[in-house]
Structure 1
Amino acid sequence: MSAQPNPDPRPIDHVAERGNDAAPALVLRSGTLNHKDLKDRVARLAGWLQRLGLEPGARVASWAAKGELTCLMPLAAPRAGLVHVPINPLLKRAQVAHILADSGAALLMATPSRLGTLEPGDCPGRCCALAEDAVLDEASTAEPIGPSSADPHALAAILYTSGSTGRPKGVMLSHANLWLGADSVVCYLGMAADDVTLAVLPFAFDYGQNQLLSTWSAGGCVVPLDYLAPRDVIKAVERHGVTTLAAVPPLWVQLTELEWPADVAANLRRLTNSGGALTVDLVRKLRGLFPAAQLFPMYGLTEAFRSTYLDPALVGAHPTSMGKAIPHAEVLVIGDHGGVTADGEEGELVHCGPLVAQGYWQNPARTAERFKPAPAGSRYGGMAVWSGDQVRRAADGLLYFAGRRDAMIKSAGNRISPQEIEDAALASGLVAEAVALGIADARLGQAIALVVRAAPHADSPANRLPAILKSELPNFMQPAVIHWIETMPISPNGKIDRALLQQTLRDAAVGRETARELGA
């Protein structure tokens, strides 16, 4: 591992100053920038933004594929005293219009094709929309400005969550949040100046943006990739000598279904996962495919960046554990009684410390629901994030996910964790992906629907899975229906879109009921 984390935060744009000038920093389609080039491009883009004369703290949004603009804006906007609002390039017009209006963006920088999809009124009245290429051309000749002297606790970015329950909400992140997040990751991943990170995750996602910040903080190089197919990831790892790969479970599932040349797999030093738990089978496959790489299962949420990681040395013996707190984070398991739980007792995971965000942008009511005073047992105090995730802490301090409070299926008086059903389905070896959902039922309150994708080469999975589930799960946890689909829907942040699956099942149920009423 690298040196101990440094708890003294600085303005986030200072991470661009840490690399060796001659070392590679960013691989673009047009060529590779070294760290000297990176420093100059950030300084000029910040100078151009400052020259626009926007008021301090104005929100500036970027909506483009991975490239120079989207890579530099997380540093250039805060250096210019502005607040960056990255917009996932996969989002559509209506979602983008909501983000622009909600953030009160003064500037939108986007590709011309994306700007062409907007309708009159989608940009707030005083919002200026500029094409990505024009911005970069003007910035290339702008007067550069030096590193920021901003208060580390000043607002630096607003990241909008995926909005699986209602419209996306903006999470407010300070310079300190971003700086300490990068510092923490560099520390526990043991990143170094010779590391090359393949950035496949969206930069509008905190996990994705940290690919940039942590790598540059370590003095390393980032290779942004908007992949069209999982095989593109293998090609990029080979072409660029990638050492670090971060992904979410749906992508890991796809990558493990491909043939990896042994010499290409050997390039990777570390694999990191967040955005969903790895299954025991997926852990086994990843360790088998990449024997030279350390596997880091991680857990987090945008409101607190990241909270836990599992030491790679413990993955084999504890593959389902969330691990322990990352540097700069404190996590407590709080029971219904309001105190820290005993070992083995289930409670809500509460996040404390300097990685906790500043709340939701212009939404004090929702902020008050999630951000509350830290429990009495916290060593940090201040505000904490109450996650809504139910976990258990073992005697050795390792944490285990039990389920989300709002995702629990309530059937015939039983509170059922979807994950238990999903784990049983995956353990059968017959399915590659599984999602358990509650559907309205007049008799039970909710019945269980299981949506699955068959594992490659599985033998008669539809015939065999029900019997296996009956042998592994109690009666009250048996799915009322199993839906087999060829492809799981994926949300803009790369996770399985549970909300879309839930809505699809709900619409199908309404359709069946209507058909019955019509005598069809």
Structure 2
Amino acid sequence: MSNSVNASVHQHTLSGPGWREIAEYCGRQAIPAGRFLDALCGFLLGRYGGHRQPFTMVASDGPLLVGCAEGGPAGDIAATLRMDAAAAADGGGLGAPRFQARIGPDEARLLLEHAGEGVDGDCLLRRMELVGRQIVGGAARWERLSLLDGAEARRMLRDWNDTAESGPGPHTVHELFEQQARRAPGRVAVVCGGQTLTYGELNVRANQLARHLRQAGAGADTLVGLCVERSLEMIVGLLGILKSGAAYVPLDASYPAERLRHMLEDARPLMLLTQERLLERLPPVDAPALCLDTAWPALAAHSAGDLAPISGPEHLCYVIYTSGSTGKPKGATIQHQGLHNLVRWYIRHYEVSADDRALIFSSISFDLTQKNIFAMLAVGAQVHLPADGYAPDLAFRQIEEEGITILNCATRAFYPLLSYQTPERPLRLRQVLIGGEVVNSQLLADAFRHTARPPLFHNTYGPTETSDINCSFQFDPREPQDNVPLGLPIDNTRFYVLDAWLNPVPPGVPGELHIGGVCVGRGYLRRPGLTAEKFIPDPFCGEPGARMYKSGDLARQRADGTVEFLGRIDQQVKIRGFRIEPGEIEAALTALPGVREAAVLAREDSPGDKRLVAYAVARDGAALDPAALRAGLAASLPEHMVPAHYVLLERLPLTPNGKTDRKALPAPDLKRGDDGYTAPAGATAQALAAIWADTLGLDRVGADDNFFALGGHSLLATQVLSKLRAAFGLELPVRALFEAPTVAALAARVDSALQGGVSADLAPIAPAPAGVPPRLSFAQQRLWFLDQYEPGSP
């Protein structure tokens, strides 16, 4: 990579004008238009050249250093060309791809030289040819450039989304339950804490409650709150609300009163169904409360027969509140058609029958709870509820004693069950459905390696806004894999992986997953602005009024259409100019020996100092060493993705729904203990240790401490060397710190340079010609780089 001091930096937007306008601008500014195509080539290589290796471009006809930064993992290409300061500062760019690009009147020539490793050359060539043909036309805008030919587009948009499936009525889940109640009224439907309800008993109670609600004004699209503990009343309440024609708003009784108050004020339910013992926990609300555990003498006066349905597929079924970016939860509204479609598919795909028994320990307000209840009740199976909530030891015992066959829970909530499994007491389940987080397949492999017939495992995926499960992938828990896929879309569901301008991206290319079909809910309750932002028209469907949901999830499709999850777009972080997906680091961390679970955060415990922090939980009997973890990650990830600090935990904190509670992860302790500490010896080493401690925000640094193991990186290395120059009057390149990363080693190099009279050997300073801007020194260049990337840094 050229390290020219006289490099000129130009900035121009690529968003808006066509290529002819760009060429005209380049002509006016005396900038070769090919440099803009260099950025385009960089975009292509970034997609196909392996996202772990940062790339740097060198213009073919000049020393301009060109960096093409992607503005977002969904394909939001940066609208500017800028100096790649991070690469220039640490001497990066060796072996980087070189591009030549020229626009002619009849053709666009794109020449790419690359090392070949990790690059699908044939695929990249096809993309370059396709884009070149569009550019020659002159009218193609940056955001309209397509990386798909006609056949690829048809396969991805039509063939992979050929999921249409229709079945006989009824078309609501409570009517499916009614069919079973008529067929086998004596079968057990619900089991909780030693109590049971048969299908006939459950249907009668639900009918009586429904009539009471209708008399109170319940009907289609009316909302009724349901705040109860896991109990028989919970199932009665769900069915009674639906039979009345209303939609239910499930509320977790364990939530803080303030959060419940906001939900109830936002939902404005006609009535709140609850239990006598919960009344004192509930905030004051305008809606009247009905206690299901004490009101049955009055409710039993109503007729027990089925009611004529007044709600259909297009009416609301439930409203579930999810966390919002503003700090207040938002209500996702789901129609009957979404839940009904999911339940029908669930029963067929997982071969659910009347012989199955499902254990449901997730919260009533968790989206995965809904279809597990109604799928069981639609086929005559049993719903089992733990009366005391979720405890791994009790859940394992309940699975054994009650003959549970199906378990669906958050991925991380499943792992604790494995610690109770032994060869003599295996986890006897037929189907295990997990989802919500990346699967730690190595952990599962360790648990089931010697199991002849483990449960059938399925990795499931689906946002609350699209009726929960939208795809599923079956995998063998005995075989570890880097990234367990999400699978293919379920019935009547469409998947699109799109860039920032809603263009489909080719297989293997990351983009934002958009979801269409009957699963897509109406939007957010009383949030028209947010609904319009996240629920947008589906331009690929052809059905009038069709919409798709912007999931905010980064994904890519395999060659057969199978979707892989890569991370959350809104969890994406930017460290030193690089955009990073913590999920990739977590996957790499859990792949290291001895690591059971992991989480990665970008913390800014000191203003302006954002650093990656890794949290790791050891497997039983394993002893984790932060230095070894760092070394392991450094072997597979670029330097900017290696966390600065490591925190070892006994377990990761969980939310009530079993997901990692990232807000509860502790800040790293930056105070150094005496273990492994060796005091710096000599004036040089002591001065260096003080510089390192000041730069890294530590209380002290030992003689044998590794700069990068302490959280250092290339930009901080630049700060260290600038301070070293001020202290010793000595210029050292950035690579010196990479070659001598400990205080003792770098001190020896500094002493050697000083004793060798480096300063005396410097060439005399000659006066510069008048009118010629002076060249920047290496230190001045580094300071300029730092100011560009970290404005205001010392």
Report the TM-score when normalising by structure 2.
0.59
User: d(CA) in 2 for partners of 1:443 and 1:409?
Assistant: 16
Range moving further from structure 2, 215-224 or 107-116:
107-116
Please tell me whether residue 491 in structure 1 is matched to residue 655 in structure 2: yes
What is the match of residue 217 of structure 1? 378
User: 1:126-149 deviations in whole A, cap 9, x for unaligned?
Assistant: x11233412344334432352424
* Corresponding residue number in structure 2 for 1:307: 470
Q: In terms of mean alpha carbon deviation, does 10-19 or 80-89 score higher?
A: 10-19
CA shift digits 1:273-330 (9 cap, x unpaired): 1121212213424644683421111111100122111134799586521111122321
Q: Tell me, in whole angstroms, the C-alpha distance in 1 between the residues paired with 2:443 and 2:544.
A: 36
Paired position in structure 1 for 2:247: 83
- Give how far 1:244 is off: 0.3
Name the structure 2 match of 1:322: 486
What is residue 474 of structure 1 aligned with on the other side?
Answer: 638
Whole-Å separation in 1 of the counterparts to 2:398 and 2:189: 16
Preserved CA contact (<8 Å) 1:339 1:376 = no
> What SS does structure 2 have at the residue aligned with 1:191?
coil
Gaps of 5+ in 2: 1-164, 672-693, 698-794
Aligned to 2:417: 255
| Superposition pairs of residues 80-479 of structure 1, within 5 angstroms | 80-119=244-283, 122-123=284-285, 125=286, 127-147=287-307, 148-163=309-324, 166-225=327-386, 226-260=388-422, 262=424, 265-266=427-428, 268-285=429-446, 287-288=448-449, 291-305=453-467, 306-312=469-475, 316=479, 320-376=484-540, 382-440=546-604, 446-462=610-626, 464-479=628-643
Is 1:199–1:208's contact at 8 Å kept on the other side of the alignment?
Answer: yes
CA distance in 1, matches of 2:668, 2:554: 26
Q: Using the TM superposition, give the Cα deviation of residue 354 of structure 1 relative to its aligned residue in structure 2, in angstroms.
A: 0.3
Q: Secondary structure at the match of 2:295?
A: helix
Instruction: Using the TM superposition, give the Cα deviation of residue 507 of structure 1 relative to its aligned residue in structure 2, in angstroms.
Output: 13
Indicate the SS of the match to 1:322: coil
Q: Distance in 2 between matches of 1:250 and 1:50?
A: 41
CA–CA distance in structure 2, aligned partners of residues 431 and 486 of structure 1? 11
Question: Does the residue aligned with 1:74 lie in a helix, a strand or coil?
Answer: helix
Residue among 212, 234, 247 paired with 1:48: 212
- Which has the larger displacement, 291-300 or 456-465? 456-465
Post-superposition shift, 1:404?
Answer: 1.4
Offset of 1:396 from its aligned partner? 2.0
In percent, how many aligned pairs have the same letter?
A: 26
Q: CA deviation at 1:365?
A: 0.9
Q: Whose Rg is larger?
A: 2
Contact 1:340–1:377 (Cα < 8 Å) also in 2: no
Quick check: 1:331–1:352 contact (8 Å CA) kept in 2?
Answer: yes
**Are the counterparts in 1 of residues 510 and 554 from structure 2 also a CA contact under 8 Å?**
yes
Give 1:451 shift. 2.2
Q: Using CA pairs under 8 Å that are at least 6 residues apart, name the structure with larger relative contact order, 1 or 2.
A: 1
Which whole-Å deviations, capped at 9, do the CAs of 1:448-502 have from their partners, x for residues lacking one?
Answer: 112223322112444532222222322111111122233322223221122444x
Shift of residue 376, structure 1, vs aligned partner: 2.2
Gaps of 5+ in 1: none
Letter of the 1:129 counterpart: A
Q: Which moved more, 1:243-252 or 1:348-357?
A: 243-252
- In structure 2, the CA distance between the partners of 1:45 and 1:462, relative to structure 1 (3 Å rule), is same
Q: Which stretch shifts more, 153-162 or 138-147?
A: 138-147
Are the structure 2 counterparts of residues 5 and 492 from structure 1 closer, same or farther at C-alpha, using a change threshold of 3 Å? farther
Q: Distance in 2 between matches of 1:150 and 1:118?
A: 30
Give, in angstroms, the shift of residue 50 of structure 1: 2.3
Per the alignment, in what secondary structure is the counterpart of residue 33 of structure 1? strand
CA distance in 1, matches of 2:221, 2:584: 45
Q: CA deviation at 1:165?
A: 5.7
What residue in structure 1 maps to residue 27 of structure 2? none
Q: CA 1:337/1:99 → structure 2, altered by over 3 Å: closer, same or farther?
A: closer
Deviation at 1:30, TM superposition (A): 5.2
* Partners of 1:74 and 1:157 within 8 A in 2: no
Change (3 A) 1:141 1:260: farther
Q: Which has the higher strand share?
A: 1
Contact 1:356 1:385 in 2 (8 A): yes
Matched residue SS, 2:359: strand
1:367-405 CA-partner distances (Å, limit 9, x unpaired): 111100113267797011110111111112211112211
